[in-house]
Amino acid sequence: MKIPRSVWIVPVAVLSLSLSSGCATYRTISTAEQGSSKVFSGTRLDVSAIRGDEVALRKFKAVPPRYPLVDLPLSIGFDIAILPLTVPIATGELLFK
């Protein structure tokens, strides 16, 4: 069975756009400092970029991805995957200030 070109070209294009724009979760976690937001940080960065909220974007020390709407589902998935790591770090920072 041959898959039509129009069926597989869309997922390939979405994946290549998201990889070329960078992952917001990786950007925010890799530049995280003491007291910065860590839980769902990539998702929050994408939403702030989509909304054009400059005040919220300044809170992150990371540049938002070029295509935040494309990156949003991937950031949600990655943020959920690392949730067991980010929640204890964030709550530990709050408890031991």
Distance, CA of 67 to CA of 91 (rounded, Å)? 31
Number of domains in the chain: 1
Q: Are 24 and 42 in contact (CB under 8 A)?
A: yes
**Quick one: pLDDT at residue 54?**
92
**Quick one: pLDDT at residue 5?**
65
Task: Summarize pLDDT for 37-47 with one digit per residue, the tens.
Answer: 789 999 999 99
The overall pTM is greater than 0.85: no
Q: Which of 40, 47, 36, 38 is nearest to 72 (CA)?
A: 47
Q: Which of 95, 90, 96, 73 is nearest to 32 (CA)?
A: 90
Q: Which domain holds residue 75?
A: 5-95
